[in-house]
């Protein structure tokens, strides 16, 4: 069977008991970065054969792992942090299992997206997840424009090296919209900082952001949505 196993997004104590059991029982563990995952596995005192499984070798490794699975092996997939398949390797192998009729299961566990949505305090009944914001300025502006026009909370991953540019775009395109920078979730310096684009830009100019970031844009109000309809 294939197991997609979520790993902690920061605090190693967030690994689940079931995840530990699966990793201990697996015949092989496929890791996004074997060196990174080895730190977690050493912490858990788990010694298993490891293979790399990342965006550059997914196609080849998927075929190899499917053969192992069909031969009766138990394969666990972990990424550097969080849920495999969410902006991380895992989805291709799971789809191959579906196509080949190979048994699989997904363990519940840590997810930076869900953690950030709840921690922001923004409406969470419905939300849009857009993965990583585009690196190029044009793509980023288009994505922020769509987020500003959306009724639902929008959630993205962003680099600390680009968050200043993203906040400048928001200050220009949706100056009054509440935003949230959820940073270093579950770690010692965890931060949920909420404000407008200008307010957050001023803060991070004085205190440059570090660590992993989930960036959230509050959904448009009924008044904003109605005004946009009237403009159309």
Looking only at the bridges linking them, the beta strands covering 127-132 and 28-31 are: unpaired
Q: What is the DSSP string of 78-98?
A: E-SSB-TTSSSTTHHHHHHHH
**Tens place of pLDDT per residue across the chain (232 aa):** 999 999 999 999 999 999 999 999 999 999 999 999 999 999 999 999 999 999 889 889 999 999 999 999 999 999 999 999 998 899 999 999 999 999 999 999 999 999 999 999 999 999 999 999 999 999 999 999 999 999 999 999 999 999 999 999 999 999 999 999 999 999 999 999 999 999 999 999 999 999 999 999 999 988 888 887 777 6
- The whole-number pLDDT of residue 217 equals 98
Across the chain, the runs of DSSP E, i.e. the strands, are 2-4, 28-31, 50-52, 75-78, 104-106, 127-132, 153-158, 179-183, 191-195, 213-217
What 3-state class would DSSP assign to 50? Answer: strand
CA–CA separation, 221 and 201 (whole Å): 23
Domains of the chain: 2-106 (3.40.1010.10), 112-231 (3.30.950.10)
Rg from Cα positions in the chain: 20
- 132 and 155 Cβ atoms separated by less than 8 Å: no
Please, are residues 150 and 128 in contact by the beta-carbon 8 Å criterion? yes
Alpha carbons 2 and 34: distance in angstroms, whole number: 18
pTM: 0.91
In the prediction, which pLDDT does 39 show? Answer: 93
What is the separation, in whole angstroms, between the first and last Cα of the chain? 52
Instruction: Pick the closest to residue 2 from 110, 98, 111, 87 (CA basis).
Output: 98
pLDDT at 227: 81
Cα gap 92→2, rounded to integer Å: 12
Q: Where are the alpha helices (DSSP H) in 71-216?
A: 91-100, 112-120, 137-149, 163-173, 197-206
Per-residue confidence (pLDDT) for residue 232, from 0 to 100: 62
81, 157 contact by CB (below 8 A): no
Structure tokens at 192: 């949920």
Q: Determine if residue 45 is left, alpha or beta; phi over 0 gives left, psi from -120 to 50 gives alpha, anything else beta.
A: left
């Amino acid at each position: 069977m294939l197991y997609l196993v979520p790993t902690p997004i920061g605090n190693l104590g967030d690994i689940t008991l079931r995840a530990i059991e699966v990793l201990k029982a697996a015949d092989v563990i496929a890791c996004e970065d074997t060196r990174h995952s080895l730190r977690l596995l050493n912490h858990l005192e788990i010694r298993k054969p490891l293979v790399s499984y990342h965006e550059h070798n997914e196609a080849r490794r998927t075929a190899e792992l499917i053969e192992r699975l069909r031969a009766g092996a138990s394969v666990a997939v972990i990424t550097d942090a969080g849920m495999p398949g969410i902006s991380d390797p895992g989805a291709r192998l799971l789809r191959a299992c579906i196509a080949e009729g190979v048994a699989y299961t997904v363990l519940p566990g840590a997810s930076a997206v869900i953690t950030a949505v709840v921690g922001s305090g923004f409406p969470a009944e419905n939300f849009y997840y857009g993965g990583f914001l585009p690196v190029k300025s044009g793509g980023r502006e288009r994505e922020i424009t769509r987020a500003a026009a959306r009724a639902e909370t929008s959630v993205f991953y962003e680099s600390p090296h680009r968050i200043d540019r993203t906040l400048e775009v928001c200050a220009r395109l949706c100056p009054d919209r509440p935003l949230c920078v959820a940073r270093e979730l579950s770690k010692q310096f965890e931060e949920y900082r909420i404000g407008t684009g200008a307010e957050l830009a001023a803060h991070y100019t004085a205190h440059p952001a570090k660590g992993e970031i989930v960036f959230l844009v509050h959904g448009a109000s009924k008044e904003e949505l109605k005004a946009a309809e009237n403009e159309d």
